[in-house]
């Protein structure tokens, strides 16, 4: 009975003791704490009087010692090795090949592309193509003996660093002339001049949705040519007649700003590709 009574007393005492003292591991009546662990014999604890790590040890832990080889100089703080081409990433000179997806002489998208060319920052040259309307309808029987307009357009795209396409939206999709040009230029599969060529999409339409659906289709098409399309900002301008002055110059401030951002994204993508090539 004495053993059972003692166990009951211990259980009762455990229920009644303060939770904080039980957690600390000390005597609840004396308010003492038991040490959580003991040092092994011969072990030195690097702590200061208040129980914290010694400042010298803390400094050594933060900066691990790496022994230098004979003749090796101490590295200078705050200096890093410059990768090839690093200084030109934000200031690369590039050529952008511009394609308007409408054949109309005073096309809104032709005006948009011409306005974009005027907005191009220093170091960015925009060459607007006049070949889209000269391409014959795509015909696989002509592969290997393509018409001169096809071979010329391929060569011009190959010589450019990036593409900018201004597309209208016909019946909720891509204009036929753009699809026809893509079918020609995207060949041969896996080795076309479009492969790894960065692309910026812009467009305007008199409708309230602008060219969002047409650009969506274009993005899907460029997946097959492995062409990186800039993710944004989007230039899908609705109500095209309200966005230009009588001279045909773009007056929409939002579109103007976004076109500038797209040029910088194209420039950065091209510069990064050049740097990657330089370090291979």
> Tens digit of pLDDT for each residue in 18-45?
444 444 444 444 444 555 544 444 444 4
- Residue 210, pLDDT > 70, answer yes
Least confident of 41-50, 229-238, 270-279: 41-50
Does the structure show a pLDDT above 60 at 84?
Answer: no
CA distance 159 to 95: 8
Q: Is the pLDDT of residue 1 over 60?
A: no
For residue 130, is pLDDT > 60?
Answer: yes
Segment 110-115 shows an average pLDDT of: 98
- Residue 271 predicted with pLDDT over 50: yes
Tell me the C-alpha distance between 17 and 5, whole Å: 18
CA-based R_g, the chain, Å:
35
CA distance 141 to 110: 32
pLDDT value of position 66:
54
Average pLDDT, the chain: 81
Average pLDDT over residues 233-250: 97
For position 68, what pLDDT does the model report? 57
pTM: 0.68
Residue 279 has pLDDT above 50, yes or no: yes
Map out the domains of the chain with their CATH numbers: 90-278 (3.40.50.360)
Cβ atoms within 10 A of the Cβ of 64, count?
Answer: 6
Altogether, the residues listed in the chain come to a count of: 280
Across 37-46, 213-222, 253-262, least confident range: 37-46
> Quick one: which of 232, 235, 137 has its CA closest to 182?
137
Q: How, if at all, do strands 162-166 and 199-204 pair?
A: parallel
pLDDT confidence bin for 51, thresholds 50/70/90: very low
Quote the pLDDT of residue 78. 43
- DSSP-assigned letter for residue 122: T
At 243, phi and psi to the nearest 5? -100, 0
For the residues 176-185, what does the mean pLDDT come to? 98
Q: Given the structure tokens 């590709």, which residue do they identify?
A: 273
pLDDT bin (cut points 50, 70, 90) of residue 263 is very high
Which residues neighbour 199 within 8 Å (Cβ) at sequence distance 6 or greater? 162, 163, 164, 165, 222, 227, 228, 229, 230
The side-by-side arrangement of strands in the sheet containing 124-128 is: 124-128, 94-100, 162-166, 199-204, 235-237
């Amino acid at each position: 009975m004495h053993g059972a009574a003692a166990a009951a007393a211990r259980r009762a005492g455990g229920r009644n003791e303060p939770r904080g003292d039980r957690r600390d591991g000390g005597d609840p009546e004396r308010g003492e704490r038991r040490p959580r662990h003991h040092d092994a014999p011969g072990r030195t604890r690097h702590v200061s009087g208040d129980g914290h790590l010694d400042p010298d040890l803390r400094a050594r832990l933060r900066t691990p010692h790496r022994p230098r080889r004979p003749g090796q100089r101490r590295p200078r703080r705050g200096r890093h090795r410059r990768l090839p081409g690093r200084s030109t990433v934000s200031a690369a000179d590039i050529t952008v090949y511009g394609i308007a997806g409408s054949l109309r002489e005073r096309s809104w998208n032709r005006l948009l592309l011409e306005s974009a060319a005027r907005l191009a920052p220093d170091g960015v040259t925009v060459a607007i193509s006049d070949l889209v309307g000269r391409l014959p309808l795509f015909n696989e029987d002509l592969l290997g003996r393509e018409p001169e307009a096809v071979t010329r357009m391929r060569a011009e795209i190959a010589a450019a660093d990036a593409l900018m396409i201004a597309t209208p939206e016909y019946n909720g999709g891509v204009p036929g002339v753009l699809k026809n040009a893509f079918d020609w230029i995207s060949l041969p599969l896996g080795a076309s001049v479009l492969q790894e060529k960065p692309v910026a999409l812009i467009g305007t339409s008199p409708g309230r949705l602008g060219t969002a659906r047409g650009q969506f289709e274009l993005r899907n098409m460029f997946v097959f040519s492995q062409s990186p399309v800039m993710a944004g900002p989007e230039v899908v301008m609705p109500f095209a007649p309200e966005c230009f002055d009588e001279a045909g110059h773009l007056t929409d401030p939002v579109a103007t700003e976004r076109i500038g951002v797209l040029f910088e994204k194209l420039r950065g993508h091209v510069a990064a590709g050049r740097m990657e090539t330089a370090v291979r």
